[in-house]
Structure 1
Amino acid sequence: MKTLKWFIAVCFIAVTLSAFVAGKKARISIAIADTTGFKVDTLAHDLVVPWQLVFLPDNSLLFTERNGKLRIFRNGKLVDRPAFVIPDIPQRNKTGLLGLVLHPDFIHNRLVYMANDYWQGTKMRLQIVRYEFRNDTLIKPLVIRDNIHANQNHTGCRLVFGPDKKLYITTGDADEAILAQDLKALNGKILRFNDDGTIPADNPFINNDTARKEIWTYGHRNPQGLVFQPGTNTLFESEHGPTGGDEINIIKKGMNYGWPIIHHQLTKEGMLTPLAEFTPSIGPSEAMFYKGDRFPQLKGKLLVACMRGEGILILTLNSDKIVGQEIIFKEKFGRIRSLITGPDGYIYMSTTNVDPAEGKPRPGDDLILRLRPSGTENTLFSSQKI
């Protein structure tokens, strides 16, 4: 297909990025893929770190900005007035309004979940709150979990619902590495809840009096991508490592992923090593499996938004092994934070260049962008207020 010739004509140029792929016991280069088959549309600009993008059933795009605003993009334009604002939100290096997810039955119950930092006296804390989305705003807040230790970095905060309709939440170590191994702390973990904030009876530490029962896995440094693979329901995670050592992991119930005891290619009995480890750092953020029809060569591939790597990493999987990897739009748009397939099958992403200290804003930053095959019509699907 001519519109997808970029994927066939991969430009195998040596690059500084490389990855250690488990099972291959070798470090392999990440090829830079030709993107001439892509057309890029700028949908919104002059934003402040659009952290998470989600689509509503009416095809509107709902997204968080790190400065505390929940925004709506509808019918081809950004709605001027924010849908919701969290006042006095802490904005340090990476704190503020972060993860966002819709309930699996949103069309009937209108439930939305958001993660944000807040002040508890002079201390920074993290909370996850459930709201109802009515008349383009949020009402009836219900705290799912609060008082999670927070710092200006390593916040995690990707929220996803699994095929089991349970809520999965990533948390970073809040710059206190040892918390990731502390089963009495919620930091450096993947947490799992029922949709009302109660704890599922089949969580791995439910009968352990020395552990927090919300914990699904532990030993994480700063996990910012979390996605279930269609068909297999395997849970994949992307995670920031120290001085390189960024990871792609397969998440297994109750397991220890090692931080800070092991990282990079270190191993230790009872701890899991990553499916892939990237040095130098790529700064992996949101991960997704492409499920649309516009880019058939991407079907079933794992796409990872890269911040320090400034591009979209495309991983080809064979069962639980990575057998191919390319990166697209390398250093084209800067740091990429959120990545999602739209109802139209196109790919939507947000930049995160307003982030201190690594971010270097360009004119118009931050952006929401749409990727479509070259030669397709430049139209946006219509939507109506719900």
Structure 2
Amino acid sequence: MYNIVNALDLNKKLPLWLAIGAFIFGITAFNNRKSHSKVSESDLFIVDTLAGDLIVPWGIIFLPDRTMLFTERSGNVRIYRNGKLVSAPALRVKEVNPSRKMGLLGIAVHPGYSKNNFVYISYNYKTDNRALLRVMRYQFRNDTLVQPRLIIENIDANANHTGSRLKFGPDQKLYITTGDADRPMLAQDLKSLSGKILRVNDDGSIPPDNPFARNDTARKEIWSYGHRNIQGIDFQPVTGFLFCSEHGPAGGDEINHITKGLNYGWPLIHHGETRQGMVAPIIQYTPSIGPSELVFYQANAFPGLKGNLLLASLRGESITRLMLSKNQIIGQEVLLKQSYGRLRALTVGPDGYIYFSTSQIDPPEGKIRPGYDLLLRLRPARKRVQAIKASSAVSGTQTGSTLPRTSGNLYQQLCAGCHGKNQDGTETAKSFRDDIWEYGSGKKDIIKNISEGIAEKGMPAWQGALSKKEIESIVAYITAQKN
């Protein structure tokens, strides 16, 4: 369980949201498809459903005129304006490859948009049967994204670990996150762009102050490396510190404070481990919460959240509020726990309200629900009630308890989602209980498959995340059940 942290003074901060009770969220019935204004005066905030029947709204931005643009992983950039979803997409990316977790992903607006109308997107595509990631720049004119310009491409990707958030920093540079493409050692390879945070100018050129700009044995776009699969980045107001959220292996999800040129360890360290020359996370989560987008809250609609870092989560199906002192987490609180399913995009609108999306069309973890996926908005209610006090506590370096790393538990955590709890297969992967083993049923073959993964099937590589002994124990578990 997470700690609910810090007793909040009503005169200074917003009352603890979740302590009021889960009944608050019952006001958002999807079938209505409109804002829900008929609520009890005792409610602290309201969740509105802005749009439904979407396909994984992956990123959300706002333009200066308050027009919202968001990506759907299927390949559309959509427009939401004046309380309505515009029927025609601003862009359909024809070459997008939307297999599993891949597709149209990140979106960012140029800090000088009022002068140049620049919008950036990232998406997966295929060349010679290779899954790759590309970042493009467009101009938004007459509700259409036009004049495409390539920023960067040919970044190795994969059905699971492909990133990719885009964010402009206070330095006016574009920061791009990439996954390790299910090939863990790429994260340590400075000649590869995978498993990295990249930093480029707004036209894709290399800033001369990048850490490897003068290194002929490294890619000059790299800002930091040793990342597994970063799903969110944002800059802390005042300090300018960069933070990211990152998926770990079998737990070990991370929040990292990013420093120029440093190595964040994957796959050589994880789950809060340390090693000389590598940076451990400021907090890690085991069991996994599946962290997605994060954003610092600096608006006035929820004054009690000012300066807090908000984190959407997929497996955790929640928004986590993180309280920081400079680059250290001093407390946390979980919001919207298991109210709407897997949460993917998260941002703050010009009105100070919190906008987020669901990610249920996410095989094999996500289960499609009627009317999903959703675009949602959280806003304050008209009247706030007296705060409910909670005892203060400081978060530790780990939330929750780790399941024993036995062969059965490891199988259920890592393999059951695709191969079934009883190894009888799913729509995603075949059964282990028959004699049809496409990639070999011998011990040596299974060890190789678990260690190196099967990229074309979207199977992750677990070498580095698991010890040789743990991999062998999973093989023994699989073959024992088969027999």
Structure 1 and Structure 2 fold alike (TM over 0.5)? yes
List per-residue Cα deviations over 1:222-260 (Å, max 9, x = no partner). Answer: 001100001110001100000000000000000000000
Counterpart position of 1:247: 254
Task: Give the deviation of 1:10 after TM superposition.
Answer: 7.4
After TM superposition, list the pairs within 5 Å mapping 1:184-333 onto structure 2: 184-333=191-340
Note if 1:348 corresponds to 2:355. Answer: yes
Distance 1:216 1:176 in 2: 20
How many residues align? The count is: 353
1:136 equivalent among 143, 149, 153: 143
Distance 1:72 1:8 in 2: 31
Distance 2:73 2:43 in 1: 32
Distance 2:153 2:285 in 1: 32
SS in 2 for 1:179: helix
Counterpart position of 1:126: 133
Counterpart position of 2:16: 6
Distance 1:211 1:349 in 2: 37
**Amino acid of the structure 2 residue aligned with 1:243:** A
List per-residue Cα deviations over 1:39-77 (Å, max 9, x = no partner). Answer: 111000000000000011111110000000000011111
Counterpart position of 1:70: 77
Task: Give the deviation of 1:6 after TM superposition.
Answer: 3.3
**Amino acid of the structure 1 residue aligned with 2:240:** N
Distance 2:132 2:18 in 1: 47
Is the 1:84–1:137 contact (alpha carbons within 8 Å) kept by the matching residues of 2?
A: yes
After TM superposition, list the pairs within 5 Å mapping 1:44-193 onto structure 2: 44-193=51-200
Larger Rg: 2
Task: Give me the identity figure in percent.
Answer: 58
Is the 1:6–1:36 contact (alpha carbons within 8 Å) kept by the matching residues of 2?
A: no
TM-score calculated relative to the size of structure 2: 0.71
Is the 1:7–1:297 contact (alpha carbons within 8 Å) kept by the matching residues of 2?
A: no
The structure where strand makes up a greater share of residues is 1
* 5+ residue gaps, structure 1: 12-34, 377-386
Distance 2:324 2:342 in 1: 24
List per-residue Cα deviations over 1:131-159 (Å, max 9, x = no partner). Answer: 11111111111111111111101111100
Task: Give the deviation of 1:111 after TM superposition.
Answer: 0.6
Task: Give the deviation of 1:9 after TM superposition.
Answer: 4.4
CA-based RMSD of the aligned residues comes to 1.6
Distance 1:110 1:6 in 2: 39
SS in 2 for 1:242: coil
Is the 1:5–1:36 contact (alpha carbons within 8 Å) kept by the matching residues of 2?
A: no
Counterpart position of 1:371: 378
Distance 2:20 2:225 in 1: 37
Q: Which runs of 4 or more aligned residues in structure 1 lie more than 6 Å from their structure 2 counterparts after TM superposition?
A: none
**Amino acid of the structure 2 residue aligned with 1:253:** K
Task: Give the deviation of 1:266 after TM superposition.
Answer: 1.3
TM-score calculated relative to the size of structure 1: 0.89
Task: Give the deviation of 1:161 after TM superposition.
Answer: 0.4
